[in-house]
């Protein structure tokens, strides 16, 4: 049984209040989801807090999951991503300066490599490789590093509308490639 088919009934059970199903989801997905939070926050303790908050959100919002709209793994990752971004905003995190003297820890350039460990990840990586550099960079900055569109625009020294358009076009091309 594939992971998506396995997680969908578990999410349905969680929607009905089943804590054992929530535990099963945690056991199967926590390592991957912790990686999502850690990539955004760059702080293991904060990532653990964000993961805990995300699982509370999952317990309360499992009834909102709709398998016809996407994979359960993507839905779970989105909840973790939003929890980590909320935590980053609450902490007043700024864009890392890349200056090690200031204490910023640069994200490993191959952060995406860890995502590509399974077949789905390899497929995603192959599709990302087909995108133009500007589209790929915007998507990676947004979805792997957790930067907002405004932060990406500042980092790339481009107008906000341009960055939004590039990311949107890139996501549309990714969707075509992945389907």
Average pLDDT over residues 123-147: 83
Average pLDDT over residues 128-147: 83
* pLDDT tens by residue, 27-84: 999 999 998 898 888 888 889 999 999 999 999 999 999 988 888 998 999 999 999 9
Q: What is the 3-state secondary structure (H, E, C) of the chain?
A: CCHHHHHHHHHHHHHCCCHHHHHHHHHHHHHHHHHHHHHHHCCHHHHHHHHHHHHHHHHHHHHHCCHHHCCHHHHHHHHHHHHHHHHHHHHCCCCCCCCHHHCCCCCCCCHHHHHCCCHHHHHHHHHHHCCCHHHHHHHHHHHCCCCCHHHHHHHHCCCHHHHHHHHHHHHHHHHHHHC
Q: pTM of the predicted model, to two decimals?
A: 0.55
Specify the CATH number of the domain 1-93: 1.10.1740.10
- CATH for 98-179, among 1.10.357.10, 3.90.1150.10, 1.10.10.10, 3.40.50.920? 1.10.10.10
Q: Is the pLDDT of residue 10 over 50?
A: yes
* pLDDT tens by residue, 89-122: 877 644 454 555 444 444 444 444 454 455 666 7
pLDDT band, very low/low/confident/very high, at 3 (cuts 50, 70, 90): low
* 98-179 matches 1-93 in CATH topology: no
Query: What are the structural domain ranges in the chain?
Result: 1-93, 98-179
């Amino acid at each position: 049984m594939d992971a998506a088919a396995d997680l969908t009934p578990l999410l349905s059970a969680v929607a009905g209040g089943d804590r054992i199903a929530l535990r099963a989801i945690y056991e199967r997905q926590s390592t991957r989801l912790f990686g999502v939070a850690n990539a955004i926050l760059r702080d293991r303790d904060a990532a653990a807090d964000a993961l805990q908050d995300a699982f509370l959100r999952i317990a309360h919002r499992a009834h909102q999951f709709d398998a016809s709209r996407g994979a359960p793994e993507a839905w779970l990752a989105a909840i973790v991503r939003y929890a980590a971004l909320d935590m980053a905003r609450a902490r007043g995190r700024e864009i890392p300066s890349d200056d090690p003297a200031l204490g910023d820890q640069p994200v490993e350039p191959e952060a995406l490599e860890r995502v590509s460990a399974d077949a789905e990840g390899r497929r995603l990586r192959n599709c990302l490789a087909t995108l133009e550099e500007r589209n790929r960079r915007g998507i990676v900055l947004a979805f792997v590093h957790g930067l907002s569109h405004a932060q990406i625009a500042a980092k790339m020294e481009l107008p906000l509308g341009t960055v939004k358009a590039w990311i949107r076009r890139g996501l549309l091309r990714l969707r075509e490639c992945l389907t």
